[in-house]
Structure 1
Amino acid sequence: MSVEQHRKEAPKTVRCMILTISDTRTYDTDKSGALIRELLEAKGHQVTEYQIVKDEYSQIQHWLKVAAGRADIDAILLNGGTGIALRDTTYEAVRDSLDKEMPGFGEIFRLLSFQEDIGTAAILSRAIAGVRDGKAIFSMPGSTGAVKLAMTRIIIPELGHVMREILKDR
């Protein structure tokens, strides 16, 4: 079956949780979380939960576990905490929670970032995606430029397709 056929069979609406990982952002100042919501809703997806979570491994793991157990969430989209600073723990928290990794997400994100946005600074990005307990998880950097790139070029075009693949054998 072709990719186009898969996309035709994919769910049109995906129920999403947004997690902004930050020690400093608030709901009023979180432009990246707001952008994710705006882009998802513009394409007919639902945001069922939105939280700002401190950049602490245990807190990120907690919210991933909560989301994995909820029937009203299909996908979890995280932004922030993906760099290489000591406080950046999102990558490790997500990686350690995945049943299956989708390495192509991070690879394509870094390629597009290199080509279209930040050049060789793309090597500092630790974007990651995968599946946990039947939920798609996408983790991207927290800048609005990175969020826009990840959402418009990778996540939104493939979100339904990813969910189709996750759900096809269930």
Structure 2
Amino acid sequence: MRMSSVEEHRSGAPESVACYVITVSDTRTEDTDTGGPLIQKLLEAAGYTVIGRTIVKDDYDDIRELIYQNSVNPGIEAVLLTGGTGISPRDTTYEAVASLLDKSLPGFGEIFRLLSFQEDIGSAAMLSRAIAGTIGSTAVFSMPGSTGAIRLAMDRLILPELRHVMREIYKRS
């Protein structure tokens, strides 16, 4: 029986991906951050490696610099962010991520909002500005800060496809 092209791509994907986790928050501390540790736990349970995790204030320049520094680190293949994706004046994660992307993955945000709408968020799902893409050979995923949103994004979108994403990034023409 012949494999589908998606199955073929997944079968040629790397076994693990080295990830860095960023929580964007003006109020969270190491003791009160629930999002970053949840992402780390889900990544590690799925066989991914977490190289580091940090919290950054919701400041455009600080977020952008942290993403950039991790994207040029050869030991980091994916950066996952949580928080700062809403529409309040302090929410600047979307702008920071978008300003750095070489290629965007609009389907990530589109499908995340659809799943959120279908699950229990309803029309408020349109307020989410989840975003993903690539910076050079680094995958970047930015999701809202609630643990429900993190579980949805991780379980339904990121964990099943991260290896495949990396295979595509590393594919030589």
- Which range, TM-score by smaller chain? over 0.9
Match of 1:162 among 162, 165, 169: 165
2:104: which partner in 1? Answer: 101
Q: TM-score, normalised by structure 1?
A: 0.98
2:10: which partner in 1? Answer: 7
Match of 2:57 among 54, 58, 80: 54
The amino acid of 2:48's aligned partner reads H
Is 1:41 matched with 2:44? yes
Is 1:81 matched with 2:84? yes
1:16: which partner in 2? Answer: 19
1:92: which partner in 2? Answer: 95
Aligned residues: 170
Deviation, structure 1 residue 49: 1.3
Match of 1:127 among 130, 133, 145: 130
Is 1:143 matched with 2:159? no
Deviation, structure 1 residue 13: 0.5
Deviations 1:12-32 (A, max 9, x none): 200000000000001111111
1:27: which partner in 2? Answer: 30
Q: Provide structure 2 residue ranges, at least 5 long, that are not aligned to the other structure.
A: none
Tell me, what secondary structure is at the counterpart of 2:141? Answer: strand
Deviation, structure 1 residue 133: 1.5
Q: Provide structure 1 residue ranges, at least 5 long, that are not aligned to the other structure.
A: none
Deviation, structure 1 residue 138: 0.2
For 1:117 and 1:35, how far apart are their aligned partners in 2? 20
Q: TM-score, normalised by structure 2?
A: 0.96
For 1:133 and 1:51, how far apart are their aligned partners in 2? 22
The amino acid of 2:131's aligned partner reads I
Deviation, structure 1 residue 69: 1.4
Deviation, structure 1 residue 164: 0.2
For 2:145 and 2:52, how far apart are their aligned partners in 1? 18
Two-structure CA RMSD over aligned residues (Å): 0.9
For 1:96 and 1:50, how far apart are their aligned partners in 2? 22
Tell me, what secondary structure is at the counterpart of 1:96? Answer: helix
For 2:77 and 2:120, how far apart are their aligned partners in 1? 29
